Amino acid sequence: MTEQRKIIRRTPATPPPARQQLRLFATVPLGAEELTATELTGLGAADVAPVRGGVAFNGDRALLYRSLLQVRTASRILVHLGNFPCTSPQELYDGVRSLPWNELLTPAMTLAVDCTLRDSTITHSHFAALKAKDAIVDLLREQCGSRPSIDTKNPDLRVNLHIAKNQATVSLDACGEPLDRRGWRLDRNAAPLRETLAAAIMLHTGWDGTVPLLDPMCGSGTLLLEGAAIALRQPAGAGREFGLMRWRDFDQRLWEEVLRQEQAVAGESLAVPVLGYDRDPKAIIACRENARRAGLSYQVAFDRKPFEEAEPCGHQGVLVMNPPYGVRMGERAELEALYRKIGEVFKRRFSGWTAYLLAGDLELARLVGLKPSRRFVLFNGPLECRLLKYELY
């Protein structure tokens, strides 16, 4: 079986024309939809339409590749394959079977089907995924004499089935691993911040590398590393592989050209300090390793220092932080004292700066004792948070 897989991989299907228009969909953490829409528009996507939890858009194959490399706030990019009415298991089976799987799969490849349901007569997502899988493998068995194997963890082709109000949409997941897995963060602290959420926070701050940036509770360094990469326009996905690289119609030459173009516009260095502090020596070691893997060792500096000793590195700048808010770490009384201390340090030491604080508990955030000038709604997983902006006059 291993040798057969290698032979088939050496003779992939001919890629379709690079300018063929594709219907695409970015799945997005709640609260970041408009940010993702702005990112996609900047890349040249057409018909960009944000909806709750995602952004629909159109583009050619180069735009698909570019979105995988550059969009920092999306979780996944899906390629639309087909849609059909779906009021019964048989209608689901027939609809899935009618799609051109022989152009996408060979018996030597592996397959997985994920399913989400909403307001439909079919009520069990696992059953629906199995029915769709049966339709695909039955078709391949009839046409090729054998069927693809199932690999739910790392398939060659991951199929996304979404059924809402008895309408099924079938898409291909272009990512493999979710897009927040940049490939550089192997060391995580006790409560890691997803890279996609960190990117959303940094985009809301508008920090562009013209003033200093400081995170006095840096954890694993995610906010600073995402911020530095955004300011330098570094491709988010340059250091990892994607699921579509195993598709039969993957265009290696076009991928390399798009990657070369995106890397060519990336900056080499920042002219201002980017600093991260944390009281935990293990966190600082992890930050430095993450920065090394991200290629940002010379752009972002980390040092062991408790928050109350943080000092500004200029007359003005941006301070960003994600303090604990009691979901997974910290006792309530300790947290209340911490948030009061945050307000004291802001007022006493950071006059002239702009501070952004991600608050998962608004009662704790009120203890800062400062009135935010803006509030942005973001979700840290299922938890609704507020990114609070403070102008520290």
Which pLDDT does position 8 carry in this prediction? 36
- CATH code of residue 224: 3.40.50.150
* 210 shares a domain with 63: no
* 223 shares a domain with 148: no
* 202 shares a domain with 168: no
* 163 shares a domain with 282: no
* 223 shares a domain with 313: yes
* 291 shares a domain with 163: no
* 278 shares a domain with 161: no
pLDDT tens for residues 313-324? 999 999 999 998
Asked, for residue 255, whether it belongs to a domain, the answer is no
Band (pLDDT 50/70/90 cuts) for residue 85 is: very high
Least confident of 139-143, 236-240, 344-348: 236-240
Q: Domain of residue 316: give its range.
A: 195-234+267-391
Asked, for residue 243, whether it belongs to a domain, the answer is no
Q: 326-364 burial by CB neighbour count: b if 16+ within 10 A, else e?
A: eeeebeeeebeebbebbbebbeebbeebbbbbbbbbeeb
Asked, for residue 348, whether it belongs to a domain, the answer is yes
Q: What percent of the chain has pLDDT over 90?
A: 85
Asked, for residue 242, whether it belongs to a domain, the answer is no
Asked, for residue 281, whether it belongs to a domain, the answer is yes
pLDDT tens for residues 13-57? 555 565 789 999 999 999 999 999 999 999 999 999 999 999 999
* 384 shares a domain with 315: yes
pLDDT tens for residues 108-130? 999 999 999 999 999 999 999 99
Beta strands in 193-289 (DSSP E): 213-215, 274-278
Q: Which residue has the tokens 């102008």?
A: 391
> Considering the chain, what is the average pLDDT of its residues?
91
Asked, for residue 289, whether it belongs to a domain, the answer is yes
* 202 shares a domain with 165: no
Asked, for residue 252, whether it belongs to a domain, the answer is no
- CATH code of residue 13: 3.30.2130.30
Residue 111, both tokens? 């397959």
SS3 270: coil
Mean predicted confidence (pLDDT) in 251-270: 94
Which pLDDT does position 333 carry in this prediction? 86
Which pLDDT does position 1 carry in this prediction? 36
* 148 shares a domain with 202: no
pLDDT tens for residues 197-237? 999 999 999 999 999 999 999 999 999 999 999 999 999 98
SS3 314: coil
> CB within 8 A of 345, min separation 6: which ones?
216, 307, 308, 310
Measured CA to CA in angstroms, residue 29 lies from 53, 74, 97, 381 at distances of: 6, 7, 31, 8
Counts for the chain of helices (H) and strands (E), in that order: 11, 15
Residue 124, both tokens? 């069990």
Instruction: Confirm if 245 and 258 have CB atoms less than 8 A apart.
Output: no
Predicted confidence (pLDDT) at residue 278 exceeds the cutoff of 90? yes
| Number of C-beta neighbours around residue 392 at 10 A | 16
| Number of C-beta neighbours around residue 323 at 10 A | 22
User: Last residue of a domain, which of 173, 203, 219?
Assistant: 173
* 219 shares a domain with 310: yes
Measured CA to CA in angstroms, residue 302 lies from 186, 192, 297 at distances of: 17, 17, 9
Asked, for residue 179, whether it belongs to a domain, the answer is no
| Number of C-beta neighbours around residue 370 at 10 A | 17
* Number of domains within the chain: 2
Measured CA to CA in angstroms, residue 1 lies from 89, 106, 152, 341 at distances of: 32, 12, 18, 62
Predicted confidence (pLDDT) at residue 190 exceeds the cutoff of 70? no
DSSP state, residue 73: S
From the list 185, 192, 183, 182, the residue with the least C-alpha distance to 322 is 192
* 345 shares a domain with 210: yes
